[in-house]
Structure formats: structure tokens, C-alpha cells
Structure 1
């Protein structure tokens, strides 16, 4: 098979008998079977194993939240730009492009990933697919925020299981790039838990609430909970409407929290005030300037 034939084969959506297969597998209309095979979500025989079925379920559930955002942002002919942080093997990016961006004459996806082999593999596959408006960058989230060759503004920012403070970096990227929407699934979070172990939450140390983080596993879970609450308050304080829900497909994981933030421009001073109060209550004031540099002043509240 020539290079052109291979590209056409990879781009080809489900047709004829393949439509029956796609329906049986629960694929979305127009989804390319060859793409899913190239991503090793489908076997060469077009089958889904249990792990791949779960993986596809996760990506489709995310797509359900992202597609309406893309539609809304592009309805006036605007060319949407999307940054996918911690892209990994870029399952999300490729499926988004295949189902949404491919049919458009404009719009770009940037996959940002620190592991060079994954970036190289994604670049190669995008070239084979003819997905010309997909770019893959070998750098961290923080590095991409400072990179002068990146667009000055992004419409949508996604971060799927970006570890520890990488989710905070993705939020910082979104704020710096004036993102209209952010879709975040936080992963392991150790920073706040470490602070709790060090400070013992000072003002709460002598209260019954200290039992919430007396055991190490509870400290870790409590730290994750506090981290995501602070992130949501920060986004609200910066002008975003925030929705928090559960991401399906992670039923056997604690890391299944989905945060969807849409920019409205209405900065909630009450959210900024609550965030500062929580930082003080848990002895986390040292994080204010590092993690929440755009937090509005609340002295006048």
C-alpha cells in the first residue's frame, strides 16, 4: 500500500458493512475504524477488549462535554484552538480531530506532552492521517505557557490526568491564554497533603477536624479534596462558571473528578474571599502567590 493509499485508508470513516460493526461497538457516527486501530483501541480484527472499551468510554464521555463548547465557540466562523495538556498517546486529541475538526476547514489542536517517544509517535500518526492542523510539542505545561511561538490565545484547554501540580499549570496556561473554556480531570495531588503534614493545619490542629488527616491515606485524600475545591474557587474568582461532576469509566479509580469551567467574565469576589479563608484555615497561605497569582484582592469585601 502506497503512502497516499495508507492515508486515505486511515482517514476513511465507517462505511457499508463497517457501519454495522461501528454500531455494535457503540462508536460515534463518522468515527474512523482505521484510526481506532492505529491508536490500538481496536484490534486488527476490529474488536474491543475490556481495557480498550473502558478507554473509549472515557474519551467519549469527555467528548460529550467538549463538543458543545467547540460548537458554541465556532458558531460565528471562529477558528477554534485547543490545547491538550499531558496528551500522552493523544487518544482525546485524535478522536476530537476525527469527529469534529476534520470536517472543518479551520481550527487547530496542540498536544503537549513531556515524553518524547509519545510525541514522535503522535506526530507520525498525524502525518499518516493527513491531520494537518494537529501539532505535538515535547514540553511541560509550564514551558508551553512561556513559549513565544505558541498562539497568544487559546479557546479550549484540556488536561486529562495531569499529575500533581500539572493541573495547576494547565489552569495557569488557560488564564494566561485567555481560554474561553477549560476541561480538567486532576490526577494525583501531593502538594497540599505535604503542607498539611508539615503545618498540621495550625488553627484546626486542636479541633476534632484534625482527625480528617491524622492517618496518611486520609491526609492524601483530604489534600486532593482541598486542592480541587481551591482550584474551583480560583477559577470562579477569575471569571469562570464552574461545574464539577464525575467522569464515567473511572469507576474503580479515585481520580474521576471532572471540572468544566466556562468563561463568563463575572469574577466572583466571594469565591476569592472563601479561597483566602480556606488557605488561612488550613495553613496554606504560602501557596497563594505560587498557585493563585491572579487571585483578586478581597480586602474591600
Structure 2
């Protein structure tokens, strides 16, 4: 079966680009790993393409910032399928590995993708980069590891992003803090049984991290939808967080976020990961 029949490559999509991204082989075939990657990126693109159709954009088109871009599978496919024909909009890829940034720049030049830029920086530092616009329409982070997802959220808030599309990965920070305070928590509440065993600590930390992120986005004026990226058979890192700005911060979400931090002994995380809560008017 050809790749086009297998995953129904989109009309007008560049198969040569997919070959250069090593998603397709030189013969136009898909191996198991690349099939899994392409399925994830296609599914994510469906959400992104719909958002781009609904979100207002400036006269130059939407500014899209992709954090933890890696080889920029997602950025290239967004450009190829959603921006190329319109002649409007820019994709900015943020990546800390210089060799991947240089490779992506060369690939964009080869295919004439003039409105793609790649920055050698981190998500945490990107907000201060003068080559990025003051406002962006969309922030994406596909499998940004551990706190890089939090940095992408902070970037989106700083840039007044109209929407964020996040697929978190390897959430370790909260799990480490739960581990440190485990003895005290076990003596204080039976809820600590939920993370007494190391495997449960990791799983509980991952779950709690994403719950806190969603509450934070709501507290900052976003509506949040949480769904699956693809079936579990394709990826264990499968949680997709979609956030759209409404301009209506939810006080109740801020209160519940703080209550959860207190319940789990994580109050020290508030100024580090949730600084916008301090901007709330006093009760």
C-alpha cells in the first residue's frame, strides 16, 4: 500500500518535503515509526487548521510559534498545508539544538518557504527575543519535555496568544516535589497513598501537573479543552490541551489551583510556574 493510500496524504502536499523530513522513505513509503509520527502531526494539524480559520489575524496573517520544534515536523506541515497557498502567515520554530535549527533553515530555503523562521533559543528565553512579534495568534508545543510546556504557556501569556495547542511530555517537576514531601504527606493525609509507590508518584505528578496547567490557563482568561491526541497505541504521551483566549479570567480556577497546591504541599511552585496569579485583585 502506498503512503498516500495508507494515511491519505493531503491534496497538494509535498511528498518531497516529507522525504526530506524522513517521514517518507526515498521510495515514498512509511515505516512504523514515521507512520506514528505522521498520524500524530496530522491529527494535531486538524485542530490547528480549524483554529487558524476561526482566529482573527493581522494583515500579514497569523504568527505561529512552535516551541521545542525539534526537526520541525509540525511547523513544516502547518506551513505546507495551511499557509503556503494563502501567501500569509509566519511559522517560527523555537529549538535549543543548533544543528536542528540550521537543518530546518536549509530545508525551508530549499522549498521556498520564505515565511518560516527558526530561532536557536529556549522557550523560556524566546519571549525576550526581538525577532519575534509582540503578539502571536497561536502557540504550539508538541512533546515539549517537562517544564518546557510551562515555558511555552508563559510565552503565550506574555505574547497575548489567541490560542495554545499543547501536548505535554515527561512531567517530572511536580513528581520530584511529591517525592520529597512524601513522608510528611503520608502522616498528614490518606490521599498521599495515591503517590506512595514510585510508579504512582510519577503518574500522579504527571496528572496533577496538567490539571494545574489547565486551571492556570482558565485563571488567565482561556477556555480549555482536554482530549486525546491519537489512540494510546500510537503514543503514551497522548494528552492534548487546547486553550482559546476569551478575556474572562476565572477566579474560581485560580482559587482551586491554589487549593490544590496547598493540598499537595506545592505552594512554592506558585511564584515559579503560576506568577500571573499574583496579579489578581485582592479578595
Return the TM-score normalized by structure 1. 0.88
Q: Does 1:261 align with 2:259?
A: no
Name 2:107's counterpart in structure 1.
125
Name 1:48's counterpart in structure 2.
30
Question: Secondary structure of 2:240's match?
Answer: strand
Q: Aligned runs of 1:134-145 on 2, under 5 Å? A: 134-145=116-127
21 and 195 in structure 1: CA distance in 2 versus 1, 3 angstrom threshold: closer
Q: CA deviation at 1:171?
A: 0.1
Q: CA deviation at 1:206?
A: 3.2
**Alpha-carbon deviations, 1:202-249, whole Å to 9, x = none?**
566433211111111111110111110000000000000000001105
Higher mean Cα deviation, 29-38 or 193-202? 193-202
From 137, 148, 155, give the equivalent of 1:166. 148
Q: Does 1:88 align with 2:86?
A: no
Name 1:297's counterpart in structure 2.
280
**Alpha-carbon deviations, 1:22-52, whole Å to 9, x = none?**
3454112221111111111111111111211
100 and 143 in structure 1: CA distance in 2 versus 1, 3 angstrom threshold: same
Structure 1 unaligned blocks of 5 or more: 1-19
From 175, 193, 216, give the equivalent of 2:198. 216
Task: Give aligned pairs, total.
Answer: 281
Structure 2 unaligned blocks of 5 or more: none
Question: Secondary structure of 1:279's match?
Answer: helix
**Alpha-carbon deviations, 1:96-140, whole Å to 9, x = none?**
100011011221000000111111110000000000000001111
Task: Report the structure number with the largest CA radius of gyration.
Answer: 1
Q: Does 1:196 align with 2:178?
A: yes
Name 1:279's counterpart in structure 2.
261
Q: CA deviation at 1:75?
A: 7.2
84 and 228 in structure 1: CA distance in 2 versus 1, 3 angstrom threshold: same
Task: Supply the RMSD in Å over aligned alpha carbons.
Answer: 1.9
Stretches (4+) displaced over 3 A: 74-78, 201-206, 296-299
Question: Secondary structure of 2:259's match?
Answer: helix
Q: Does 1:239 align with 2:221?
A: yes
